Structure 1
Amino acid sequence: MRDQYRVVAAFLEQLAIRFLEGDRSKLIIVPGNHDVCWNTSFAAMERVPEDQWPTDVRRALVEPDSNYRWSWRERALYRVHDHNAYAMRMGFYWDLVENFYEGVSLAAGIDRNRGYQLFELLDRSIIVAAFDSIHRNDCFSYSGAIPRGAIARCNLHLRDRPHRYGLRIAVWHHSFQGPPQREDYMEAGQVREMVGLGFQLGIHGHQHVAEATTQYIYLNETQSMGVASAGSLCAGARELPRGVNRQYNLIVIDDTLRSARVHVREMTDGEQFSGKRNGAFLQGFSELTWQAATDVAGRPIDAAETNDRACVIRAEEALRAGRLRDAIESLRDVKLTPGSYQRKLAIDAFRRAEDWKSLSDAIGSPENVEETVLLITALVNRDQFEGAVSTLDEATDLDPATRQALRDKIAVKQAMRR
């Protein structure tokens, strides 16, 4: 088992290097039922003698977080008696995940007991919550479930973060619907909980066939989440549904973060992959849309504008308190557009901290005499004398006295460096 995970880890590492410029934070991993070690889970159970069976066995089996399991092969009742050992049925998987992301900057560090992991994409415009849908999944229990409370805790976690995201994506493994004879899918109510808590796009697998649907809930108004399921690229012939080929998805999200196209590639004649063109994908793709996040007044939230506003407020407070580095850090991800207040604030912070490189980068093309003087000062302190002279020559709005003072300053600094 450990050797298998070493092979997987090596494959994931090569995948990140080849397609993601080595950035492991963009490769999102979620656990599935095949990551559960049946031998470990069985070893953590004990067989219950018939004279100790609960009065209502069926009810005992379906109670939330029940410790009881039923073996149809043996017609016997089992009970989880060693919870620490039972938790280790996912030990190899979590060892792989922790090793893979070691040293990688994530939205929240890997925590095998949390029920979800967080990943940021597209310059922190998108947050991905990777949920564990293998709660109570083992050698006797095939259904999927996200740990109770994990979705709500994830929402609170995101709410309490100072950063806002333009798109919330939820990723998990198990499908949430299936035929009556099957039991290996999770409760649809957990997906509806995601919708109600503001997740806008859901992605899952497990069922070995691609689908694209929209899930709705009705509160004071309709809320929706687009859901895309992926087919299987590597499942065996027995696991693939009848008439379904090997598949994988390409999900293209619109620049506005308000819609996506789900493209499905499936293996056809000659074992070549081409676009799927049947079912929900007659055009070669399927469209998914969702509502933008709104405030209490029902107005769409501009996440970038909200983040910039919060960063500016924190920077102002830090500058007033003389915490220059905190102010600079607060402004690091803010767009310093020409003429904006945050640009003026950043220039002031960099000047006071004597961070000459950041100051010259923030000014770029000076907008007034004050910025011209600051830019030349920054370039001189960085020993970039040619740039300082060039900036001085191009400045047409400087009075003669200021121009001469700057020219003398450049000459003195050059002479000191010789």
Structure 2
Amino acid sequence: MKISIMHISDLHRDPKNPISNEALFNSLIQDVENSAAEDPPIPPPQIIIVSGDIIQGTGKDAKKPDEVLLEQYEQAEQFLGALADRLLNGNRQRIVIVPGNHDINFSKMFSALKEINYATVDEKKRYELAGLICASQSKFRWSWGEFKLYEITDDTLYEERLAEFIAFYDRFYGGTRTYPSDPTQQFDIFDFSELELIVVGFNSCFLNDPWNRQGAIHPRAFSQACDELRKRQFRGRLRLAVWHHSTKGAPRQDDYMDTDFLQQLVNHGYSLGFHGHQHKPELIDEKFAFGGDRKVNALSASTLAGGERALAPGGTRGYNRVVLDTDEWQVELHARQMANPDFLNPIWVKSFLPNQKSFQSFELQQPRPVDPSAIASQDLPEAEKLLREKRNEEAAVILEPLAPLHDMAKRLLLQAFVGCNNNEGIIRCFAEPFSPEEIIAVCDALWEKGQRDALRVILARPVVAEHQDPSVVHIRTKLLGRLGE
């Protein structure tokens, strides 16, 4: 199966180069049409990934920042909605969105701070404060521009610095998805079951603000997302992750994530990651450092609509097209770049990668094989609980894939099918009956469904014809009489 993904990032539009929705939308649609005729052709996207920085945002002293942000998000919503309508048959659930540092309301962030007059603090206290500034998840902020020290004193207001993004997210998905304000819950799972693919969107702006610029995902958010993926419906799926910040930077930069995050992705079975922030395309091949041969590949996209000042040195606007082949377990990364100098009306073309080609192929890490014994230990207790609650149909859904592998699951499945009068299920799963309970259930089901010839075959089998259990003898005699034999 081939899966085509459009990866766009850093949509923030420079006020000095205010490209319109119409021009940006038309340029991408034209490129989708053009690239379908290239060699190799790029299929139209089935999924669109937006890896943060949806808007330009505002500065510390902006007038009416809430209104400005609302206007920017409305523009972004119209643009992304138009892409969904044209490329995804209007299905917004096929667009994966995460926040970036530009999506933060800096005015709310600054309102959550209180200045600390360190000049009046004794030397011992200053030493303690210096350590607290650099501590993990510190609530202290140092402003080099002002040479002032601040402390976050209103945690609720500080967390509301993403309130406008959260409102945009809820509107965009029509309330079918909501984005929590609690950093420990800031992830979302997009399940593409027909593609056997799952995408998890993370917020890499945990504690991120202008005076604490590094990217981070709350540890509990990451852990809870990984635990969710252990659920039955997600097993065996190809796992993709999306976040905003890059995982490396230049020596004088501080606005990137700890590279250990990629090791965490490998450890938890992710195959691909998508991010932006650094405004240039890049492919990272990260091997697991602690044994085994698993890996993850991280793909970075350039800025889609940033102005000249937002471009990386020597870089251009750009975005990525990614094609996954889950039959051959290969990936094609196609980087696209703006070729013309008109920032208000871009033309997208192939971007030649370091391999001197317009695309780069690499191996796609396969999902981990599912361990049947681990599945049984997780699912059997849940199925037994459902049976006790007389929720037989739900229990049968859990038990049917386990029945060929586990005797207890097989016995419980028969109980579930009998409990909900599922004769089709009994005939399908117990066509080779062995125990008295199975023989009786299959014979009754075949009689009820009018499958007389199949019933005669079952009754003639030695396991039934020679069975000495009184209940089997009784059902055999009764049914043979009905069949006139």
Give the TM-score of the pair, scaled to structure 1. 0.72
Gaps of 5+ in 1: 294-300, 335-341, 364-370, 379-387, 400-404, 406-418
Q: Which residue number corresponds to residue 167 of structure 2?
A: 95
Q: Which residue number corresponds to residue 167 of structure 1?
A: 238
Equivalent position SS for 1:225: strand
Which residue identity does 1:51 align to in structure 2? Answer: A
**Further displaced range: 345-354 or 185-194:** 345-354
Describe how 1:9-408 pairs up with structure 2 within 5 A.
9-51=77-119, 54-56=125-127, 58-104=130-176, 110-113=179-182, 114-123=185-194, 125-159=196-230, 163-256=234-327, 258-269=329-340, 271-280=346-355, 282-290=357-365, 292-293=367-368, 301-302=369-370, 323-327=391-395, 329-330=397-398, 353=420
Which residue identity does 1:189 align to in structure 2? Answer: D
**CA 322–282 in structure 1, closer or farther in 2 if over 3 Å, else same:** same
Q: Which residue number corresponds to residue 474 of structure 2?
A: none
* 1-structure distance, mates of 2:237, 2:380: 19
Equivalent position SS for 2:98: coil
CA shift, 1:91, in A, is 0.6
CA shift, 1:35, in A, is 0.4
* 1-structure distance, mates of 2:340, 2:383: 60
Does the 8 Å CA contact 2:270/2:367 hold for their aligned counterparts?
Answer: no
Does the 8 Å CA contact 2:335/2:351 hold for their aligned counterparts?
Answer: yes
1:293-327: CA deviations, max 9, x gaps? Answer: 2xxxxxxx159999899989977996798644324
Does the 8 Å CA contact 1:224/1:291 hold for their aligned counterparts?
Answer: no
**CA 213–347 in structure 1, closer or farther in 2 if over 3 Å, else same:** same
Gaps of 5+ in 2: 1-68, 402-408, 429-441, 457-481
Which residue identity does 1:93 align to in structure 2? Answer: F
Give the TM-score of the pair, scaled to structure 2. 0.63
**Further displaced range: 137-146 or 50-59:** 50-59
Does the 8 Å CA contact 1:94/1:112 hold for their aligned counterparts?
Answer: yes
Q: Percent identity?
A: 28
Does the 8 Å CA contact 2:263/2:289 hold for their aligned counterparts?
Answer: no
Describe how 1:1-12 pairs up with structure 2 within 5 A.
1-12=69-80
CA shift, 1:253, in A, is 1.3
CA shift, 1:288, in A, is 4.3
Which residue identity does 1:223 align to in structure 2? Answer: R
Does the 8 Å CA contact 1:26/1:120 hold for their aligned counterparts?
Answer: no
Equivalent position SS for 2:97: coil
1:317-354: CA deviations, max 9, x gaps? Answer: 9679864432465489x7xxxxxxx9xx9999789757
CA shift, 1:254, in A, is 1.4
* 1-structure distance, mates of 2:415, 2:236: 28
* 2-structure distance, mates of 1:309, 1:138: 44
Which residue identity does 2:260 align to in structure 1? Answer: G
Q: Which residue number corresponds to residue 30 of structure 2?
A: none
What is the aligned residue count?
Answer: 375
CA shift, 1:292, in A, is 3.9
Does the 8 Å CA contact 2:187/2:200 hold for their aligned counterparts?
Answer: yes
The root-mean-square deviation of aligned C-alpha atoms, in Å, is 4.4
Equivalent position SS for 2:285: strand
* 2-structure distance, mates of 1:123, 1:5: 31
Does the 8 Å CA contact 1:127/1:165 hold for their aligned counterparts?
Answer: no
Q: Which runs of 4+ in 1 moved over 4 A?
A: 302-322, 327-332, 345-356, 395-399
Does the 8 Å CA contact 2:269/2:367 hold for their aligned counterparts?
Answer: no
* 1-structure distance, mates of 2:268, 2:455: 56
**CA 21–353 in structure 1, closer or farther in 2 if over 3 Å, else same:** farther
Equivalent position SS for 1:17: helix
**CA 196–308 in structure 1, closer or farther in 2 if over 3 Å, else same:** closer
* 2-structure distance, mates of 1:305, 1:264: 43
Which residue identity does 1:215 align to in structure 2? Answer: E
* 1-structure distance, mates of 2:373, 2:174: 32
* 2-structure distance, mates of 1:280, 1:312: 51
Which residue identity does 2:357 align to in structure 1? Answer: L
Equivalent position SS for 1:238: helix
CA shift, 1:200, in A, is 1.8
Does the 8 Å CA contact 1:31/1:132 hold for their aligned counterparts?
Answer: yes
Does the 8 Å CA contact 1:126/1:168 hold for their aligned counterparts?
Answer: yes
* 1-structure distance, mates of 2:87, 2:228: 30
**CA 33–255 in structure 1, closer or farther in 2 if over 3 Å, else same:** same
**CA 136–316 in structure 1, closer or farther in 2 if over 3 Å, else same:** closer
**Further displaced range: 55-64 or 132-141:** 55-64
CA shift, 1:29, in A, is 0.8
Does the 8 Å CA contact 2:162/2:181 hold for their aligned counterparts?
Answer: no
**CA 347–280 in structure 1, closer or farther in 2 if over 3 Å, else same:** farther
* 2-structure distance, mates of 1:70, 1:320: 59
